Amino acid sequence: MKITGISTHVVGTPWRNLTYVLVHTDDGLTGVGETRMLGHTEALLGYLREAEVNHIAGSDPFAIEDLVRRMKYGDYGRAGEIVMSGIACIEMACWDIKGKALGVPVWQLLGGKVTDRVKAYANGWYTTERTPESYHAAARTVVERGYRALKIDPFGTGYFELDHDATTYAVSLIEAVRDAIGDECELMLEMHGRFSPATAVRLAKELAPYKPAWIEEPVPPENLKALEKVASKVDAPIATGERIHDRIEFRELFDSQAVDILQPDVGHIGGIAETRKLAATAETHYMLVAPHNVGGSVLTAASLQLAGCTPNFKILEHFNDFADAQIKHVVKGAPQVVDGYFALPDEPGLGVELDTDAAAEFPQQRAHFDLWAEGWEKRDPTGSA
């Protein structure tokens, strides 16, 4: 079997463009991959056009390791977010083809399942007025849909520092959310790399009474010494990793022991097998894995394949029940959350198919998303996000 070519389909929303890649073969099997780029969709499409000619067309879709190696190193330049995201789309599509050809789900090819279901946490649910009352009502809706975990960034446009009034208001939002969901639900606290170490530590202590399941990206991701400083002074687990695009670059995080939960994005770090290798290393360091997952249903399906065979998998992020829920319809067999969990799929490959006609109903958009603009959390086309 050989790859004859690829086709790309961009599904647009006001705050995110989702890039789907179909990998075609000479025996008629087709696989699908997906990633979500912020502000670089055209660059990704351009890279894929060149990679199709240079590396992809004519390759054996079963020889996934070889294809990934050639795409990553065969252009000599160091692979960054765009290249690793392009690799991820092709890689997961090849796993999809391989699973379909052999009649088994991808998790079966990666060692077999360790669980039948995967816990989900909701994100994108607080696209409402930024008040304690509105957040309380929105959080109750999440719980009523069966979720037992959710994530929130309550810090507005905070950057490095957060003054007394803004801190008090953020605390009031978290107090309202915790009251709405009860003590039994996990509440993940997102900082989006906003703060200086001192500010992150102060805020973590202010919010400790509300029992955050983790503190995510408390400081910008480039300086791991700053993250170590926070970890040494905060009792809650530290989560990070969505903006690291090569598993080799996680080495310093492992050495530092400054993180408890790794958050690689399967769509940015080179795909399923690369993330599985990272998870295995994390297991030797007693760290959990909870992938960043802000894409659509193909990326969710790929992350579920990883979850099914990974002993130290904690939980999977899910946007698509709350933000742009209509885009789930572009994927046949889209994974669904029932009573707070995804069932592990048994269908061959990734277990999903892209509906290209449905995808065409959501054309590519500007999709601007600015975390430091007022109203970003609403993900509203009429607002800043």
CB-count burial class (<10 Å; 0-12, 13-18, 19+) for 291: buried
**Is 24 among the catalytic positions?**
no
CB neighbourhood size of 137 (10 A): 14
Rounded to an integer, what distance in angstroms lies between the CA atom of residue 121 and that of residue 254? 25
Interstrand relation of 117-122 and 316-318 (parallel, antiparallel or unpaired) = parallel
Structure tokens at 30: 């087709």
29 in the Ramachandran plot: left (φ > 0), alpha (ψ -120 to 50) or beta?
A: beta
Q: Write down the catalytic residue from 9, 24, 268, 292.
A: 292
Return the axis-axis angle of helices 81-102 and 272-284, rounded to nearest 10°.
Answer: 100
How does 259-281 read in b/e, with b if 16+ C-beta sit within 10 Å?
bbbbbbbbbbbbbbbbbbebbee
**Is 192 among the catalytic positions?**
yes
H, E, C per residue of 130-161? CCHHHHHHHHHHHHHCCCCEEEECCCCCCEEE
Q: List % helix, strand, coil for the chain (3-state, nearest 5).
A: 40, 20, 40
The beta strands (E) that lie in the chain are given as: 3-12, 17-25, 30-37, 117-122, 149-152, 186-190, 212-216, 238-240, 261-262, 288-289, 316-318, 331-332, 337-338, 341-343, 353-354
CB-count burial class (<10 Å; 0-12, 13-18, 19+) for 209: exposed
Considering only CA atoms, give the Rg of the chain: 20
- The residue written with tokens 């029992």 in the block is 211
Interstrand relation of 331-332 and 17-25 (parallel, antiparallel or unpaired) = unpaired
3-state class of 199 per DSSP?
helix
What letter does residue 349 receive in the DSSP assignment?
Answer: B
Q: Write down the catalytic residue from 192, 285, 329, 368.
A: 192
Contact between 299 and 267 under an 8 Å Cβ cutoff? The reply is: yes
Contact between 50 and 66 under an 8 Å Cβ cutoff? The reply is: no
Structure tokens at 293: 């997952």
Residues tagged active-site:
192, 292
